[in-house]
Amino acid sequence: MGMQKIYICGTLPFPALQVNPTMTTSAAEKPGNVKKVHYYYYYYYYFSFSQALCGAGWSLTVKRLVSQVNRERLWYSHLRPILTERQPGSRGSQAVRKHIFSKLDSLSAGWSVEVDSFISETPHGPVSFSNVLAVLDPMAPRRLLLACHYDSKFIPSDPSDPQKVFVGASDSAVPCAMMLELVTALDPHLKKHKQLVRQSVSRVTLQLVFFDGGEAFEQWSQTDSLYGSRHLADSMSRIPHPPGSEQSTLLNDLLVLLDLIGAPDPMFVNHFENTARWFDRLVAAEKRLHNLGLLSSHPKEQTYFMKDINMGPVEDDHIPFLQRGVPVLHIIATPFPSFLHTLDDTADKVHSHTVENLTKVLVVFLAEYLRL
């Protein structure tokens, strides 16, 4: 078989590449061939998966996948326990970490969960921070990072109502709950995918990252913000991966960052040209789910993800990774919600159907990326 181009359902999720299906693993060991073989395997399995997602096959597969998303479970089981004060080093922060541990431990896929703890100087003195990391298969050559921050900002309570505290529903309790619902809904598929990685059929695994210290304690600056992501990006960039590699580290794929999600009628735009192909997959997923009648309170096929709109970059937990060359897909509502960083960022401002719809879009995205 000679050289060929692979096209997927009439669209390309990334630029067409010339790939050689006859290239062997031994050929990959020759200088200059590693990238070709990487692309071959990537396209071969993406092509195989995508054919199952074309036409009627796509509809049946996607209906089966998104049917596992449970809005009630997302709201009551995943989100409710996070709607509390959870500043770094606080009891609330510890309680949310335990909640995340418990949910991941209950899944059959078998997540490797660890805490990345460190102490950093802040305007409030030394503070203990704890990132929560969960990887499906630590030995997989590549990792798709799906991330959000779980801490809440220091905002004084209402003097007239001391019980009213800042819970940061959209910032970022809802993204945390969405991540937990995603891996719960996809649990049996992720379990099977883990076996494919172990058999070297797939090369990429999923890693969840719950950042601590995303918010500034006082005024946002390079030193008073992004505590957890700065620490983690630095440490991951120093770890060779696969073990013993001299060419790559744990930062070798894509970071998908969720933030400010929960308000009705959000708009998401693409912030980086080099991940436009992945943003296009979100656009396509939303349209197809709408046309299949799988989204609720969704008046038109393109409601959330808008192409060709430039809102400019936003400083967020992706910055330390971006500075190290990691491609970033930043899923953040822009313009920001009107209640950002106020005591009104509460559960009653969250539109549950919107959150459910966005979770379904991300189910399709993960299924495509991981070839579930």
For the segment 130-188, what is each residue's pLDDT rounded down to a tens digit? Answer: 999 999 999 999 999 999 999 999 999 989 998 899 999 999 999 999 999 999 999 99
What integer is the mean pLDDT of 327-331? Answer: 98
Give CA–CA dist 78/249, Å, rounded: 32
Classify residue 53 by its DSSP letter: T
Phi-psi sector, 32: left (phi>0), alpha (psi -120 to 50), beta: left
| pLDDT bucket at 10, cuts 50 / 70 / 90 | very low
Statement: residue 75 has pLDDT above 60: yes
Tokens describing residue 35: 């990238």
Statement: residue 50 has pLDDT above 90: no
Pairing of strands 328-332, 254-259: parallel
Statement: residue 216 has pLDDT above 60: yes
| CATH architecture, domain 48-370 | 3-Layer(aba) Sandwich (3.40)
* C-alpha dihedral (197, 283, 151, 327), degrees to nearest 10: 60
| pLDDT bucket at 14, cuts 50 / 70 / 90 | very low
Following DSSP, what letter does each residue of 92-133 receive, concatenated? HHHHHHHHHHHHHHTSSS--EEEEEEEEEEETTEEEEEEEEE
Instruction: Please tell me which residue, 55 or 324, carries the higher pLDDT value.
Output: 324
Give CA–CA dist 145/125, Å, rounded: 31
Which one-letter amino acid corresponds to residue 12?
L
- pTM more than 0.75: yes
| pLDDT bucket at 311, cuts 50 / 70 / 90 | confident
| pLDDT bucket at 241, cuts 50 / 70 / 90 | confident
Instruction: Please tell me which residue, 14 or 201, carries the higher pLDDT value.
Output: 201
Give me the pLDDT at residue 17, please. Answer: 33
Give me the pLDDT at residue 56, please. Answer: 63
Give me the pLDDT at residue 246, please. Answer: 67
| Helix spans in 126-266 (H) | 174-185, 187-198, 227-236
